Each structure stands twice: as structure tokens, then as C-alpha cells.
Amino acid sequence: MDLDLTPDEARFQTDVRRWLRANVPARHGARGGPREELGEGRLAALKAWQRKLEAAGYVAIGWPREHGGRAATIMEQTILGEELARARAPALIGQMGLQMVGPTLIQWASEAQKCLHLPRIRSAEHVWCQGYSEPGAGSDLAALQTRAVRDGDHFVVTGRKIWTSNAQIADWMFCLVRTNPDAPKHHGISYLLIDMRSPGIEVRPLLQMTGDAGFNEVFFDGLRVPVENLVGPPDEGWKVANTTLAHERNMLGSTTQTQNLFDGLLRVARRARKGGRPASEDPLVRQRLADLKIRVESLRFLAYRNLTGALRAKQGGIETSIAKLATTELNHELAHTAIELLGMAGPLYRGSPHLEDGGLWPYQFMFSLGMIIGGGTTQIQKNIIAQRGLGLPRAG
């Protein structure tokens, strides 16, 4: 594979780096510190950041020009994601809209739906959440049971969703509902756009071990959704939902975040003490750091391999499962190692006057454990790799 950028790509990277150096808020470019809860002030700041990026032409760059994008290449989109992660820029509050809903609407939605939603997705005027998982339909999403019954010009929705990220702040939800219970499993499902301020919706926060409540349970009780909010054909929402797979983000951005985490671990090793000297000088610690660095670099080259496949329009296989498995487990181990090196101060979390790195490491330890579970557990990813990649038989 050729890892060199073309002259145009190199100029784009330089422009992005220059802009980020001048515009990333200082507190976000700083090292360390866990994420903040999404209070009103924090939410307003994140929306302002996305509007600033949009004004500079760095939001939805892969979208067609007629829908507010710049028809950027896969490589340009990858460069932007990597540079945002490298600069430790604030996360885009509208990421779910930009990466999932927007491309889906561009392909499937009516002109009225596009005109209403796409500009507001780009500007973060509307924040979106995903109504997919249910208590009995997580890994087996096609088993979902939330019902939507046609009643004149509306669907009446009854049921519940769970693990819904940012539902407590979302303006809209893209939701899979069962509109034909007699159809085969992957049919009879429709894709609805739901205004989260409609009567008949209750959002209950789910407290995480980090002390935050970013996940939620959402209850629908007689919720009335206009038929005009249906995206794609009725009962064929599974096809619409699968469109998002074609727009799945390249993993270089997350790989850069892992590299940032490893760099932070190195700083911990250099200032932590072991046997009266910096821990980084201890042979066993150095061996452990070397092993982790090898895994970080392996992940980076896996990302490049996946990127090469995307550039060549190669159909994806098990690469996503490998990347998800390797990244989440490595991030968890990086945080675990930092906590061990920091000794008694390592586990201290919010509220302690003796925090190290603002409580980053215990936060990452807990948050990354959740990521090992979310998006398909480690066990599920291993089964996918074993069966689809290695051709091993299903158990039992």
C-alpha cells in the first residue's frame, strides 16, 4: 500500500492542521481530563463548535455539494477525522446525524424531508439519537417489537428502546419500528423519524459506572408520528437502516485517539516512580509499554489496510469486527496500565483534590469497558471473526 499523500491531499491536511491550531478551544487541546456531562452550557458550546466547523467547510464534507457538502474523497474525509482526533478537538455533537442519518436521508428521503432535516443536521440545530436496541433486541436487532400501527395520517407507536445515547438532549430520533408483525423477521420493519418533543415519549436516564447518564431508556405510549415522517417504503426499513453501513466511518480517527491515549500513558510512566526512579526506566514496565506500542501500531496499519480496501471499493468483510475488538480492548488495557503505574492515586476520580490528569484514567477505564460491550460485545465479535473469517462452525 502507498502511505504517501498526493500533493492535493497534503495541502488539504496542512490547511486542516492550520485551521485547527487556530481554532480548537484551549481547554480541549490540553492533555488529560475526562469527558464532561452534557449540561446546557456544555451542549451550547458543542453546538457552537459544530457551527464554526461548518462555516469553515469542515462539516459533512463527504456529502454531495447540492446537500451542503463538498463531495470530498474518502481520503480527505479520513484526513479530517484523523486531524480532529490528533488535535483533541471537541467531539461533534451532531455526529450521529452527520454520519448516519444524513447519508441515509440523502439516499432514501423525500425532497421535503431533505429540505427540513439536512441543513439542521449540518448546523447542529437538531441533535439526533438512534432508536434501534430494545430490551429483547440488542445483538439480534431484527427481533425488535416496538409497534407502529397506521391510523389515518399517523402511525401510533408503542414500545420502548434502550441504550439510546444522548436521548436526553436529542431533538429527533431515527427509529426502527415493526409495522407488519406477520412479515418474516427482517421484513415488516419501517424507518421513522420521530420528533422527541412529541407527546407520548418518556426518556429515563441510565446511570453509568462513570457517574454520567449518557445512555437512556425511551418509552413510547400512544405516540403519534405523521406518515410523512416515514423514510423509504413501508415494511422495508431494514434496507434503509443498512444504508448506514455504506457510510461507516473509517477507523483512522479512533486509531489516532488510541495513539493519544498511549502518549498519555508514556507521560504517566515518565513521572510515576518505581523503586526510586521513573517507572519508564524499569525493565518490566518498559517491556509492557513496548508490547502496548506494538499493538497500537498494528491497529494503525490495520486501519490503513481497511482504508486501502475502501479506496479500491472493496466490499467489507470481518475487518470492522477485528478493529472494534482490538481497539476497545486495547483502550481498556492502556487505562488499566496507567492506573497501576500511578499507584494509590490511580483510582481517584471526580471530587478528589489529588486527581492525576484530571481523573482521565479511571474514567477511561470505566468508559472503555462499556465500549467493549456496546456495538456488539467482544464475544459476538469473536464469533463473527471465527465463523465468517476462519470458517469455523457454529457452536451446538
The cell for 254 is: 479512533
* DSSP codes joined into one string, 320-346: HHHHHHHHHHHHHHHHHHHHHHHGGGT
* Cell numbers found for residue 60: 459533512
Neighbours of 202 (CB within 10 A): 12
The single-letter code of the amino acid at 352 is: S
Let me know: does 167 contact 127? Beta carbons within 8 Å: no
Catalytic residue list contains 248: yes
Q: Which residue intervals of the chain are DSSP H helices?
A: 7-23, 26-29, 40-55, 74-86, 95-96, 102-108, 111-122, 237-242, 252-271, 283-311, 319-342, 360-373, 378-384
Active-site position among 248, 329, 333, 340: 248
Rg (CA), the chain: 22
What's the grid cell of residue 363? 474514567
For residues 229 and 183, the answer to whether their CB atoms sit within 8 Å is: no
Query: Nearest 10 degrees: CA dihedral of 257, 259, 265, 271?
Result: -110
How far is it, in rounded angstroms, from Cα 151 to Cα 332? 48
Residue given cell 436487532 in the structure block: 141
Contact 341, 37 (CB under 8 A): no
Specify the 3-state DSSP secondary structure of 256.
Answer: helix
Contact 388/395 with Cβ under 8 angstroms? no
Active-site residues: which are they?
248
